[in-house]
Amino acid sequence: MEKVIIRDLDIAPCEACGAYKATGQCTIMDDVEELLDKMKRHDAWVLGTPVHWAGPSAQLKCFIDHWFSKDHRPQDRAMFKGKRVIAGVAIRAMLAMTGHDRLRSEDKEKVK
């Protein structure tokens, strides 16, 4: 088992340039290819993220966007075949931020 913290990596946003269609390689020189190589060696992946404004963290979204380049050539697409994925999403932070899960102390006084 290997733990990777996405926010500690250098992952640039996908530019949707299309260069990967010919080569299978992204033109952006960041940590994505190295991380994808690590993922190929494992049978299961656990992805976890907090929810920020109704979506995953920017870091996880950016990383997943890079997967698009691996969906155009059969030999690259094979890295996803048969893999198990567990997705963990923390939503409590969003609820607390918006106040939907509990009343604020000043609102509690109004309800009394």
Listed by start position, the domains of the chain span: 37-111
Structure tokens at 47: 């992805």
Residues constituting the chain: 112
Question: Is residue 100's pLDDT more than 50?
Answer: no
Kindly state the greatest CA–CA separation across the chain: 67
81: left (phi over 0), alpha (psi -120 to 50) or beta: beta
Task: Render pLDDT for 34-80 as a digit per residue (tens, 0 to 9).
Answer: 888 888 888 888 888 887 777 888 888 888 888 877 777 777 778 78
> What distance in Å separates the CA atoms of residue 74 and residue 24, rounded to the nearest whole number?
10
**Comparing C-alpha atoms, which of 13, 80, 94 is closest to residue 49?**
94
Q: What is the pTM of this model?
A: 0.65
